[in-house]
Amino acid sequence: MGKILIFGHKNPDTDSIMSALLMEKFDKNLGFDVEAVRLGSINKETKFVLDYLGIEAPRLIERVENDQEVVLVDHNEFTQSVDNIENAKITCVVDHHRICDFKTAEPLYYRAEPLGCTATIMYKKFIEENMEFGKEEAMLMLSAIISDTLLFKSPTCTKEDKSVAEKLAKIADIDVDKYGLDMLKAGTDLSDLTADELIKLDAKEVMLNDVKAQIAQVNTASIPEMMKRKEELEEAIKNTIAERELDIFVLAITDIIESNSQAIVLGNRADLVEKSYDVKLEDNTAFLPGIVSRKKQIIPVLTKNA
């Protein structure tokens, strides 16, 4: 069916896009006919990286045909993947998330490691195959690590992520702290987005045992500034709950400077947040000190209490 398509999750973040581009380079070096694509709009943080490197964003797709060969990076859950994924032929997965709602008709190559970033795994794959790579590849990997670990502040960040980042910074010949902060700040400029766009910018639909949830996250340099839009954000969240028939919607507004989050929570299972973090929702919100990682501090905690 032509090229093998490589993509990350819907509402792609920097790791999702960078890892798809890296996997494309990796597989092409091995002689495969592949193309990196995306399942949603490019956010401003990712655009900062692509513009910095002078790289075009992968083309957008919304659906795959039956039996289309695909490679999944930075995700495995079908609810987060392309439409009709259940009828595609998944040949490979490279991921750093939990394994959930995943099955295939045929054997495949599956690599999952509990690291802070999928791009860290991609670095290891390049090294294991003795593939040479230059500044561009190093910057793709480094940018993804900075993004997913919030410049190494997230609890998902491992010693291995930091070690790899140090090696990549030398190859790229770049000041990681300066570049990283500029990159993260670029992603916090959300003034031109509607409330609906904001809550979908980085949202993942997941099952918390039997609870259907959508967990969205928005990075900011000022929680109070973002909370000025609370009323319109709540309206957009209510519409999404009705449209997707959700039990709970959690919007984590994360301060990338202070490493805290303010949560806006709606739905008939909003009690999960109160139970999980020993907080009381006031006007549908709660402050969650030290909470910055959806993957490690939100989804597993809510699942445990669902």
Closest CA to 22 of 115, 113, 119: 119
Model confidence pLDDT, tens digit, residues 30-76: 999 999 999 999 999 999 999 999 999 999 999 999 999 999 999 99
pLDDT tens digits, one per residue of 261-300: 999 999 999 999 999 999 999 999 999 999 999 999 999 9
Entry pTM: 0.88
Bridge partners of 112, per DSSP, are 95
> For position 88, what pLDDT does the model report?
97
Apex 28 CA angle, 102 and 69, nearest 5:
35
Q: Is the pLDDT of residue 5 over 70?
A: yes
pLDDT of residue 13: 96
List, for residues 158-215, the tens digit of each pLDDT value: 999 999 999 999 999 999 999 999 999 999 988 899 999 999 999 999 999 999 999 9
Residue by residue, DSSP assigns the chain as --SEEEE--SS--HHHHHHHHHHHHHHHHTT--EEEEESSPPPHHHHHHHHHHT-PPPEE-SB--TT-EEEEES---GGGS-BTGGGSEEEEEEE-S---S---SS--EEEE--SS-HHHHHHHHHHHTT----HHHHHHHHHHHHHHTTTTTSTT--HHHHHHHHHHHHHHT--HHHHHHHHHHHTT--TTS-HHHHHHTTEEEEEETTEEEEEEEEEES-HHHHHTTHHHHHHHHHHHHHHHT-SEEEEEEEETTTTEEEEEEESTTTHHHHHHHT---BTTEEEETT---IIIIIHHHHHHH-
Task: Please compute the mean of the pLDDT values over residues 150-155 and round it to a whole number.
Answer: 94
Distance CA 10, CA 77 (A): 11
154-169 pLDDT, tens per residue? 999 999 999 999 999 9
Q: Among residues 174, 125, 118, which one has the least CA distance to residue 141?
A: 118
pLDDT at residue 292, rounded to an integer = 95
Mean pLDDT (the chain, rounded)? 96
- Exposure string for 30-66, b = 16+ CB within 10 A, e = fewer: eebebbbbbbbebbbbbbbbbeeeeeebbeebeebee
- Residue 40 CB-half CA count within 13 A: 22
Residue 1 reports pLDDT greater than 80 = no
Summarize pLDDT for 104-145 with one digit per residue, the tens: 989 999 999 999 999 999 999 999 999 999 999 999 999 999
First-to-final CA distance of the chain: 42
Amino acid at the residue 231? E
The confidence score (pLDDT) of residue 191 equals: 86
